[in-house]
Structure 1
Amino acid sequence: MLDIQEISDRLEIQDLLVAYSTAIDSRDFDALNEIFVDDAYIDLTAFGGNAGKLAEIQEWLAQSLAQFPAFQHLVANPDIRIDGDRATGRVMCLNTIAIPVEAGDPRVAFLGMWYLDEYVRTPQGWRIARRGQEASWTQGLSEAAAPRPDSGTS
């Protein structure tokens, strides 16, 4: 049976997961300062992204995500293992991405993945100390980048 401290810890960590998705989807990359520890290491290379310390990743996200009109991160099934002031998590994510085309509505692609996290309790509450990705599947990624037959592009 979970005690009140573990329930509180789990809820706080789950709030971090939602806060991360909200920050990314709203392009509020400064908000990541309240989600990660200062020296966090983030590895987003599973789908061709970048890896590095928090400040590097914030800059990379701002630049690389500017090309997309919209995206949404849906996180679910958090498998959180707490051990005192440290914890690990494997969290499912469905990332839907609108990919612009020359004419017409954007195309949509989907990425299925897991976040592989390490969390640490700080005086400000739980924070992510390390985040990686494990790719599961993609749908429409290559098709989304291809021109539409009716768009007049080659």
Structure 2
Amino acid sequence: MTQREELATVLDRLAVDAVVTGYAVAVDDADWAGYRALFTPGGRADYRTAGGIEGPAAEVADWLAETMRLFPVRQHLIVNRRLRLEHHGGVPGDRAALRADYVNPMMFDTPPEGTTADDGPRRPAEPNVMTGGRYAFGLVRTEDGWRISSVVVQEKWRRTTL
């Protein structure tokens, strides 16, 4: 691989990492327009192993918007990213696959201990639901940069406290 090809690969890795980080931040911040913008026009998401749905990213974003109202506090941590970039004879290609583990604590909106909901603004207590598993992202280089063509969630564990 030439120095130019190595540089292109590094830039692709950084760009793909930004998309995956943007995905986590969009879900955590309830930025559903931002979530949709991360996907290709035909992009799909599959949350079935986590009790969700599978379908076009826009449809899944609507489902997430409704479901995540239960958990106003959430923080996806996406780690152990393993990226495989397509290459053609040493030249970077337009497709990538990324597998990454996640931990996702989420909290119901509850009143502070010793108060009721009528006492003022509600704030989270401790995580009510914590999940972990693996994401499998398919990514495509577009005119607008790297975008998600597919994401599949494989939830491996869940802990719930009430």
Q: TM-score, normalised by structure 2?
A: 0.81
Q: CA contact under 8 A between 1:16 and 1:127: conserved in structure 2?
A: yes
Which residue in the other structure is 1:152 paired with? Answer: none
Secondary structure of 1:31's aligned partner: helix
In the TM superposition, residue 134 of structure 1 has moved relative to its aligned partner by 1.4
**Structure-to-structure mapping, 1:19-38, within 5 angstroms:** 19-38=22-41
Give the distance between the partners of 2:103 and 2:82, measured in 1 at CA.
Answer: 16
Matched, 1:129 2:161: no
Q: Secondary structure of 1:49's partner? A: coil
Calculate the aligned-residue CA RMSD, in Å: 1.8
Q: Is the 8 Å Cα contact of residues 100 and 107 (structure 1) preserved in structure 2?
A: no
| Equivalent AA in structure 1 for residue 142 of structure 2 | T
* Residue of structure 2 in register with 1:69 after alignment: 72
**Structure 1: tracts of 5 or more residues without a match:** 147-154
The runs of 5 or more residues in structure 2 that have no matched partner are: 87-92, 114-123
* Counterparts of 1:102 and 1:7, CA distance in 2: 46
Q: Number of paired residues?
A: 142
**TM-score w.r.t. length of structure 1:** 0.85
Segment drifting more, 76-85 vs 31-40: 31-40
State the Cα distance separating 1:107 from its structure 2 match.
Answer: 4.1
Identity of aligned residues (%): 29
User: Match for 2:137: what amino acid?
Assistant: D
Q: Deviations over 1:67-97 (max 9, x none)?
A: 1121000111110101111111101111011
Q: Which has the larger radius of gyration?
A: 2
Displacement of 1:106 in angstroms is 3.7
Please tell me whether the aligned partners of residues 36 and 128 of structure 1 are also in contact (alpha carbons under 8 angstroms): yes
